[in-house]
Amino acid sequence: MSSSTSAISSDVAELKDMVKALLLDKKNQSPSTTPAPFKAVEPNC
């Protein structure tokens, strides 16, 4: 069981790294479009 859980945790870590890289790429490519959705959501809250 420990071997399977460790494999899953490593896969999750890789997925998290990929997501972080994608988010960074999006921010670098279009920095003006990323904060817009958050600004639109803040007043509603």
Domain containing 17: what range?
A: 2-44
- Smallest Cα–Cα separation from 16: which of 27, 28, 24? 24
pLDDT of residue 16: 93
Alpha carbon of 40 to those of 9, 30, 37: distances in Å?
35, 17, 5
Whether residue 13 has pLDDT greater than 70: yes
The better pLDDT of the pair 26, 30 is held by: 26
User: What b/e sequence results for 17-45 when a residue is b if at least 16 CB atoms lie within 10 Å of its CB, and e otherwise?
Assistant: eeeeeeeeeeeeeeeeeeeeeeeeeeeee
pTM attached to this predicted model: 0.44
Number of domains in the chain: 1
